[in-house]
A = this chain, B = another copy of it.
Amino acid sequence: MANGFNVAVAGATGAVGVEMIKTLEKRNFPVKNLKLLASARSAGKTATFKGETIKIEEMTEESFKGVDIALFSAGGDISKQFRPAVVRAGAVMIDNSSAFRMDDDVPLVVPEVNPEDIKQHKGVIANPNCTTAIMLVAVAPLHRAKGLRRIVAATYQAASGAGAKGMDELLVQTRQLLDGQPIAPKAFAHRLAFNLIPHIDVFNENGYTKEELKMLNESRKMLHLPNLLVSCTCVRIPVLRAHSEALNLEFENDISVEEAREIIRKAPGVQLVDDPAAKSYPMPADATEKYDVLCGRIRQDISRNDKRGLDIFVSGDQVLKGAALNAVQIAELL
């Protein structure tokens, strides 16, 4: 591996796959050879990496021979199908799907949150859910300082969570509505343009969606806090690709707004955007295509009789920190 790593991107034509390729280039990841893999349908298309045109190949069990790192973003079923071949080839799979996230032998990693967990890997490292990753980049440093106990979250999630087809549907549907044309929702359960949908992923019998329960379970795993309490309402809104979250946080210890600002200011992967007088606060339009999660609207929670509560608001690029960037950062740790 003198000249770097042999890297494969599985799901190279998807919204996240495309950003994985861009992110490998932009961050100057030491790539010796880049293999782009997709379904038979996309094989033969091309993509550009550092000025070179690379042909996209159909993914088969043979694809991973000689590969060191395989970045997967092709859905959980594909990840499950190819895991044995990847491990057999001696490659490390960095998987963006939810297939293995809660498996005991698979580290679930956000490099700013729990880089140490990466060492436990047995061939597979999981990327967390995008909403959880964006939240924890801001919340983990506050937790390390003050001890996190409980989160009440409400999310404002972008169309990109449903991939390129989600973004396309929002754009096309918006124009159809403006033009008074009929619409036909496909990527989402209902109309998203000029509307919101309080439903992401499937419903569990306790009334929460899987997406909402990921916020609980993945946070517990990554923060090593088995008793952390999290309630969440996940909502899709008509925004293209950055997720935002209103977070009400409870800590073991007192925390002030100034302390929180100082912690966020020094933390990696998160940028303090918190100057209300200048109308400066996190917004998806500003977080789009940024590596850092934006954090602001930091307030002492006035719905408590103590100083252990904080309200914050975050925005982060769902496709980058929520997926492609985080996967490349994991590869960098390797």
Contact = CB atoms under 8 A, between A and B. Distances in A.
Contacts of A237: 156, 196, 237-239
Interface stretch (A18-26, A46-54, A94-102, A280-288): A280-288
Of A170, A238, A277, which is in contact with the most chain B CB atoms at under 10 Å from its CB?
A238
A279 interface: yes
A156 B206 contact: no
The 4 closest A-B pairs by CB, nearest first: A154-B154, A231-B303, A207-B299, A154-B246
B302 A231 contact: yes
A146 to B, nearest CB: 18
Contacts of A282: 198
A189 B154 contact: no
State how many copies of this chain the complex holds. Answer: 2
A203 B276 contact: yes
Contacts of A297: 198, 207, 233
Interface stretch (A63-71, A125-133, A171-179, A317-325): A171-179
A230 interface: yes
Please classify the interface of chain A as helix (H, G, I), strand (E, B), loop, or mixed, using the class held by over half of its residues: mixed
Interface string A264-283: 00000000000011010111
Contact of A195 (B175, B285, B296): B285
Interface of A: 150-152, 154, 156, 170-171, 174-175, 178, 189-191, 194-199, 203, 206-208, 216, 229-231, 233, 235, 237-240, 244, 246, 248, 257, 276-277, 279, 281-285, 296-305, 309, 311, 313
Given A207-B297, A277-B203, A303-B151, A238 B239 contact: yes
B190 A257 contact: no
A315 to B, nearest CB: 8
Given A297-B198, A301-B231, A304-B229, A248 B246 contact: no
Given A237-B196, A246-B233, A281-B199, A257 B302 contact: no
Contact of A207 (B151, B230, B298): B298
A174 B179 CA distance: 12
Contacts of A151: 303
Contact of A240 (B170, B194, B231, B311): B194
Contact of A206 (B233, B299, B313): B299
A305 B250 CA distance: 14
Nearest to A299: B207
